[in-house]
A and B are shown apart, each in its own frame.
Chain A
Amino acid sequence: MKRLFNIGLLLVSASLAVGCFTKDDRNYQYFPNMYESVGYEAYGSYETFENTQEAQLPVEGTIPRGWKPYGFENSNDGYQNAKANLSNPLPYTEDNVNKGKELYTIYCAICHGDKGDGKGTLAQREKILGIPAYNDAGRAITEGSVYHVMFYGINTMGSYASQTSEEERWQINHYVMDLKAKLNGQPQRDFVSENEIAEVELETIDNHSQHEDEASVNEEHESLHTESEEQSHEVN
């Protein structure tokens, strides 16, 4: 009888030992209140918030830090307007183009291809079709139209405003125009020298103050960047 009891005990303890290690659950924590933050953590879930969602939209009428309003509307008119009137404020330096190339490889090349010919990995694997080359005659892209499309997206292409900053989009813009020139067989632009940069900077500061005035008039502006963040949410 005692032997049976021993065997039973062994079985129970063995199954317990095996049963404790599940990969669906977190391990025990030693002093949990040292592990868990008192403050709200990014993407956390707390009772205080609507939907218990820590990732919040900025208050209406406010602008996220380091983010400037964009003065063109998300419409066909806005597109044509940007295409004709918007140009790249960043100087065409080697630094900016290289940075643009790096970002292009992350965000654009997966569809548009490393050469900008519309033959990225997703196109080759026939996941997304009909990606135009940058030298497409019907589209005739310009610096302004490229930026506009990056900001709002167009047709099947989505907006990249939540993944990139304004400066980064303009850096990518330089590289895209480079690729277009290459596809058309044109020579590459000369990089801007240091002196010229200083001049351009002065100019952009002037432009900038003008631009901000315009933007404050245009109050219909939608903050794409933040709208998107609302949808993602996570529980600790």
Chain B
Amino acid sequence: MEKVNTRHSISRVLLLLLVVLFSFSQNLFAQEEAAADESSQGSVEAAASSGGDAAKGKELFNSLCASCHKRYKRSTGPALNGVTSRHETDWLYRWIKNSQELIAAGDAEAVAIYEEFNQTAMTPFPQLSNEDIDNILAYVEQPKPEPTTQPQIPGGSGGDSSGSGVSTDIILGVLAFVLLLLVAVLFLVNKTLTRFAAASGVELSVAETRKPIWKAFVENQFLVLVTSVFLLLTGGYFAYGYLMQVGVDQGYQPVQPIHYSHRIHAGDNEIECKYCHSSARVSKTSGIPSLNVCMNCHKSISEVADASNPNTSVTEEYTKEFYDGEIAKLYEATGWDPATQSYTGESKPVKWVRIHNLPDFAYFNHSQHVTVAGVACQECHGPVEEMEIMYQYSPLTMGWCINCHRETNVKMEGNEYYEKIHEELSKKYGVETLTAAQMGATECGKCHY
């Protein structure tokens, strides 16, 4: 039996390096197919009230009443479920058609409600007939549907989907363990065999002492030269790469105090960027929306639609409970009490973490780009409408700025300010349309002063 000496340490180290690199480059986020097995809501709602058609009532309710009333929850006005037991139907007809008249006439019931709801005047609805009102009342008197509980499947697919991240880790761990075990086993086998050979008196062929490889390497001067040139070049390449990314925050994605999803707001609901970032139109900064802007909508949206709703935005990873909790954080910060629909006056600042930040020595003005040049927000900020968590998309380096200035034409439409200079410069350069750079947008003093 002949034993081959396999101590090629370099090749072994390289192999190990490969294993290490592969194990790190593994995508740890296993993509789970969305279990699109939505149990359809089969709750058939029975019309509880007498007479009216609840389906017609729903239409009317959604278009006329829902701005101030909810069925089971106080909003600007009272919750309407149970209103027929609180008031006479005839009184309701009169109230809905013109509540102010009733209050002015000194009706005790009417005045009491007016006072209870902070003297908010209810819009009169003279266009509604008694029949219409019956329909609406039939709709609002429907009992509140029971919350549909998702059937819990023990084990099976349910367990897998929740622990997708963990299971990948476990698999990797097991693999690493098996590899270590193999190494140990091989080592032991080798040792045992050697001892066995020695015990049974088999002469192991001793490898003749060769010249050590490093000595041979040093003696070959050509090889040394080539290797050192190669090492210098690679070293320079990596050093350059490292130095060039110092101070560049591309991909920076901090955890914000409130999980605000641009995907839901700008993506699913198609709200204009400038709705919230209104100062991007007129000022240097794009503006972090003040919380009153959030409350423009979230006064009436206190929870997100659940998974059974066709307009839902919840996912497996971010559930309804999660998002509702984030809206609750907003209410806490603004001091909004959803139960009484009023502000408590106890507000506290939300400490958002700034993502895009230019160094102090570079000047950037949002209004110049957004309003004057008409550049879309996504040009620099990337596909924000798809971002669940906001991150920095562009490097925001000087080269990146300059590049865009060289490629982008100056927007001339509806801008008399540029007319004359554009005419003169385009004659000088012999072009039809000027780029921003030809208009002087690459001069140092434009951004550094």
User: Which residues of A approach B to under 8 Å, CB–CB?
Assistant: 3, 6-7, 10-11, 14-15, 18, 23-30, 34-38, 42-43, 45, 51, 53, 75-76, 105-107, 110, 118, 121-122, 125-132, 136-139, 153, 155-160, 162-165, 227-236
- The residue that B349 contacts in the complex, of A27, A121, A232, with Cβ under 8 A, is A232
Q: Counting chain A CB atoms within 10 Å of each CB, which of B24, B247, B352, B353 scores highest?
A: B247
B290 at the binding interface (Cβ < 8 Å):
yes
A130 touches B352 (CB 8 A): no
Q: Report how far A29 CA is from B293 CA in the complex, Å.
A: 34
Q: Given contacts A24-B253, A127-B269, A128-B300, are A138 and B123 in contact (CB under 8 A)? A: yes
Q: Given contacts A7-B13, A137-B127, A233-B352, are A130 and B68 in contact (CB under 8 A)? A: yes
- The residue that B270 contacts in the complex, of A43, A110, A160, with Cβ under 8 A, is A110
B159 at the binding interface (Cβ < 8 Å):
no
B290 touches A232 (CB 8 A): yes
B291 touches A228 (CB 8 A): yes
Interface members, chain B 347-401 (any A CB < 8 Å): 347, 349-354, 357, 359-361, 391
12 pairs from A and B in contact (CB 8 Å cutoff):
A107-B272, A107-B275, A121-B269, A126-B311, A129-B67, A130-B67, A156-B300, A228-B290, A231-B290, A232-B350, A233-B351, A234-B354
A214 to chain B, nearest CB (A): 25
Residues of A within 8 A of B391 (CB): 23
- The residue that B351 contacts in the complex, of A110, A132, A234, with Cβ under 8 A, is A234
- The residue that A10 contacts in the complex, of B13, B119, B285, with Cβ under 8 A, is B13
A138 touches B274 (CB 8 A): no
B246 touches A30 (CB 8 A): yes
User: Which residues of B approach A to under 8 Å, CB–CB?
Assistant: 9, 13, 16-17, 20-21, 24, 61-69, 75-76, 119-121, 123-127, 245-249, 251-255, 268-272, 274-275, 278, 282, 284-285, 288-293, 295-297, 299-301, 305, 309, 311, 333-334, 347, 349-354, 357, 359-361, 391
A35 touches B311 (CB 8 A): no
Residues of A within 8 A of B353 (CB): 234-235
A166 to chain B, nearest CB (A): 13
- Write the chain B residue with the least CB distance to A107: B275
